[in-house]
Amino acid sequence: MNRLGEFIRYRELLSTLVVRDLKLRYRNSLLGFVWSLLNPLLMMLVFTTVFTVMMRNNGTPNFPIFALIGILAWNWCSSSVMASVNSVVGNAPLIKKVYFPREVLPTSTVLSNMANFLLALIVLFPLLLAFGIRPSAALVLIPVVIAGQAIFLLGLAFVLSAVNVFFRDTLMIVDVLVLAWFFLTPVFYRIEDLFPNYTRLMYWLNPMASYITSYRQILLNGEWLGYDFLLRTLAISVMVLVGGYAFFARSAHLFGEEL
């Protein structure tokens, strides 16, 4: 609780780091933040071409929107994971010179990528209307799903950023694992289609499958989430956060020595 109180007192530093990350992302770029909108759109076009033109056996209704929702959620996940790995090591000079709660660093990477995710949602809602999909009352659950995904990613960020301080090979290993994770996550397919006999298990083992399915159920189908499904997903995310933060907190006092 003391660490949490200290973290809250440094919230201005956190907001400064988030803004810095966003500025660095688009520095020297002609289109700036417009790339947050173009990147998922271009990926959507690629997936749509591959799975509806080149591979005509895809019968998913409104497949471009189906794929875009998965891409947006996955981009937030993969960008946060990869950026968080180097969040502590990459700020070694700052850590060795100034005292501040070290957890600010991985947190800023997740929040900056969340801001990018929210910006990218701008392209989604006009496309929903263009495909004749009208928002339903279930839309009120979207902030809950976004908060749950943020909690899950924060837990991963704490673990990976701390591990990388002691084992610098972490970045290369995570790069490979994220690629494998991408194919095991229903970004361009339904989890029921690939794992018909292990659907429930895959939701347990892969929270990102649960979050992407939740976004689709709300935005694409206009359906309310089952409370058992939502609470289970949030509970897993909270456990990841608590475990990740505990590991980070126990390791943080060694960062200066290792760096």
Whole-angstrom distance, CA of residue 27 vs CA of residue 21 = 10
Domain count, the chain: 1
State pTM to two decimals. Answer: 0.90
What is residue 206's predicted lDDT score, i.e. its pLDDT?
94
Structural domain harbouring 6: 2-258
**pLDDT at res. 114:** 93
Q: Compute the distance between CA of residue 27 and CA of residue 48 in angstroms, rounded to an integer.
A: 30
Taking the chain (259 residues) in runs of 10, the rounded mean pLDDT of each run is 79 87 70 69 79 65 89 94 93 85 93 90 86 90 96 96 93 94 91 86 93 95 91 96 94 83
Q: pLDDT at position 29, please?
A: 59
pLDDT at 203: 92
